Structure 1
């Protein structure tokens, strides 16, 4: 053992409070080495954190510690212990089996000839190599503080990497979200995760009911901001004006963030400004943060707030376009329907389509196309009478010709569009009277040659017609309607869709308006 290690300066106890510790693992088969190492570093402090020592006296103990302790910063590792290369095996275990590339490995050996420095440095991923005969107390201090700086920087880089991955992942997930409420909830959850968790969070915006302009003299007024969604103590605050939710220092921080368009933070809360092209701007507010933000976290918050506001604005714009599109389609489809079918015919048909589509496993994009296009299934009625479409007895040749004409006209009206929604609507308009057995109209398509959307709409329309009152017919009961349609499974209707109709009949009846007016 090197006597020089025993010479450590004595210091008075430091009464300052440390903000955590750096974990140092000492691996050596000589208890004296453990004792003098702890003595030499007893007054060590780096970035307001002192040292926590963990001891292991052989390779097996070291392996157990390394597997159980995930945040060890430095290992002071003896080379020769139970075997001549025990320390080298531990170094290999750390990098290749435990897959820990953060921990800084300092080899200490009293027998350099057993493990030549050149060979060890080349063949093993270690960070320093010291002979015990040269490692004085001062040199030990120097090598440990250098190792801790490297560890600190590597951990900071990795935290930033993880934060950037979360930003990328969150952006991808949030941009795919079509529900505005789910989108905002996702923002709050992702930002809380990014900062290591928070007790309370809220998204504040003036665009509660949709994008609209704010007069310049009202631009920076907190009265225009409302809680859109929140968690923790703000979970029930949706729709409330900001001044009724926050007060004092926190409300003032929101005002500063809104006026200066910046990030305002304190020890346990932050307010991030989200610039917007469609409103006066939004704020992300979080409180109950587990620790003060690092510079890297501040940068990530600023990046996150910019990206999510772009996504928010796009979703608001998309929502406005979709609402406009849906209203145009509904008005057009209602103008083509026989008034005898009742004002809720389209509503009921779309509801049945939605339930059947979900049961058949359509994703959100497919389902949205289906329920948006379904109201145009009878757009061809613009050029033909509708009396034949809802007859429950045998169709005459004239009836068939009317049906053929309205399906063909609907298809011709819509088929040349490049819009996916209109393309789907054209297919449905043409095919929703085709039969599973090939005996339908207008082209005699059979089985899966009929588009899935057309097969779903055919079932939804038939069920809605049979369950509705008209001037000519009284609405059928659920049981009679199901028996009628089940009898035509695999002939008129796709049997898998009839099975889904049967399995979900309770939900269909619950989710629609009263069938009989």
Structure 2
């Protein structure tokens, strides 16, 4: 083992010009020195103490035996380079550490530089052939220049491995994000999701570049604008910009410099432009609806190759979202118009369907439906009694008890509603037609119009059966007085496995305060 390092020339001018040009640093690379000689640790750190590689400094970790070395890798997953001595507690301690690291701990990223003062214990040809190391050095050969060129080579290799892994994760993130973009119910939710995903393509400050697995909206500062009636409005935001949602960008003093860039058009040939405090992304959606994204941050801290790849998907996704939103809003207008017809025909039913639709939205959320599906169920539920507009007023508004013949006529509203809606190819109206047909089916098979039972009845229709009865009982009708909440709940409980699905009744009872409006 080498004891005397006095013959090593400490040449601190190596790559001096290159390092002096790097004024900013972004974190550090972790370097683990595993050696039982304190002098080796001290000299290695002295030589490399001011070393900077691609705007990153070095952070040194010390280990003097096998246990400490393994513990360091258990504590830190981002050790870039391991300087490993061969002979420590035993003649082959260093080789045992390498085997544990590569084979047991499955670490294939850390670059291993094997250093030995006793080459007879670890012949170079055999070691390089049999062990997954990246460099082999005799301690007697470690001049300052040799040590620095060795660390540069190792860090470049580590950087490239991490970069490839980063791009793999980035592509996976883009694919995953693209698949989930349309799960957001509102345009604001959709755009906020886009903003957070974009903010995730970020270089971590602690040394290594990586894709943020979960973007923290409290740390990401950014906003999205979109033209509304020729006014640039903040439609989504994160961090400190949330306070400006819904405001005209031109009227916010803090956004004046950013708006100036937008109004000037920026760099005409560039989708991404840097303006000092951050960068702006321009996206032209369908109909030339100008849309901008601003994210705070230094240019060097973001991976714009991945961002540009993501933007290609984002542009298409936003266009598709707006088109789908137009279609959804058209369907919504149709449903609200039909619901309005029923409401004008008989006021009490109008109030009833409004309450039922809102309670169905709450019930659906608790049942785990997606936000988009909850909205569809809410709208479709408005039309559950639409078939009643085809029934005679003298029967519908009869103050007394219905005769058997009159009740048979009332039952027809399920079929009438289904026939009115089922011819449409619109998804919401198709759902509404099924609800209209099945909301009076009973779990035990004694309902109408088809006598379906148990799981033959669609779950949404089994849900609305509970909501419909609860609301009908708790509100006055021309033929009856209102029951109390307790009386309605008692009746619903008594109808488990008869009128209602027991499982859904239990969910309703356990969450009624969040369901009832």
Please, what TM-score do these two structures have when normalized by structure 1?
A: 0.82
Per the alignment, residue 109 of structure 2 pairs with: 102
Query: 1:272, 1:302 within 8 Å by CA — same for their partners in 2?
Result: no
Alignment pair present for 1:283 and 2:289: no
The 3 A distance-change label for structure 1 pair 388 and 276 is: same
Which one of 279, 286, 292 corresponds to residue 270 of structure 1? 279
Q: CA-to-partner distance for each residue in 1:233-285, whole Å, 9 max, x for gaps?
A: 32211111112234554443444566625212255412111231144321111
Per the alignment, residue 210 of structure 2 pairs with: none
Per the alignment, residue 321 of structure 2 pairs with: 315
Deviation, structure 1 residue 398: 1.3
- Partners of 1:314 and 1:80 in 2: CA distance: 63
- Partners of 1:180 and 1:314 in 2: CA distance: 12
Which one of 438, 457, 479 corresponds to residue 431 of structure 1? 438
Deviation, structure 1 residue 92: 2.0
Deviation, structure 1 residue 348: 1.6
- Partners of 2:106 and 2:427 in 1: CA distance: 49
- Partners of 1:83 and 1:486 in 2: CA distance: 74
Per the alignment, residue 332 of structure 1 pairs with: 338
Please, what TM-score do these two structures have when normalized by structure 2?
A: 0.82
Q: CA-to-partner distance for each residue in 1:276-323, whole Å, 9 max, x for gaps?
A: 114432111122x3x5425x7122233334433433333333222222
Alignment pair present for 1:400 and 2:407: yes
Which one of 208, 216, 224 corresponds to residue 203 of structure 1? 224
Per the alignment, residue 68 of structure 1 pairs with: 75
Query: 1:257, 1:272 within 8 Å by CA — same for their partners in 2?
Result: no
Query: 1:24, 1:72 within 8 Å by CA — same for their partners in 2?
Result: yes
Query: 1:258, 1:273 within 8 Å by CA — same for their partners in 2?
Result: no
Query: 1:380, 1:409 within 8 Å by CA — same for their partners in 2?
Result: yes
Alignment pair present for 1:239 and 2:246: yes
Which one of 300, 325, 328 corresponds to residue 306 of structure 2? 300
Deviation, structure 1 residue 416: 5.1
1:204 partner SS: strand
The 3 A distance-change label for structure 1 pair 54 and 331 is: closer
- Partners of 1:191 and 1:120 in 2: CA distance: 45
Query: 2:185, 2:372 within 8 Å by CA — same for their partners in 1?
Result: no
Alignment pair present for 1:252 and 2:260: yes
- Partners of 2:125 and 2:35 in 1: CA distance: 22
Query: 1:342, 1:470 within 8 Å by CA — same for their partners in 2?
Result: no
Query: 1:266, 1:292 within 8 Å by CA — same for their partners in 2?
Result: no
The 3 A distance-change label for structure 1 pair 258 and 432 is: farther
- Partners of 1:272 and 1:329 in 2: CA distance: 37
- Partners of 2:439 and 2:373 in 1: CA distance: 17
Deviation, structure 1 residue 328: 1.1
Q: CA-to-partner distance for each residue in 1:396-436, whole Å, 9 max, x for gaps?
A: 23123313433333334444555543443333222222233
Q: CA-to-partner distance for each residue in 1:361-401, whole Å, 9 max, x for gaps?
A: 44445534432322333343354325546779754231233
The 3 A distance-change label for structure 1 pair 247 and 487 is: closer
Deviation, structure 1 residue 227: 1.0
Deviation, structure 1 residue 458: 2.9
Aligned pairs, number: 493
- Partners of 1:267 and 1:86 in 2: CA distance: 52
1:194 partner SS: coil
Unaligned runs of 5+ in 2: 205-215
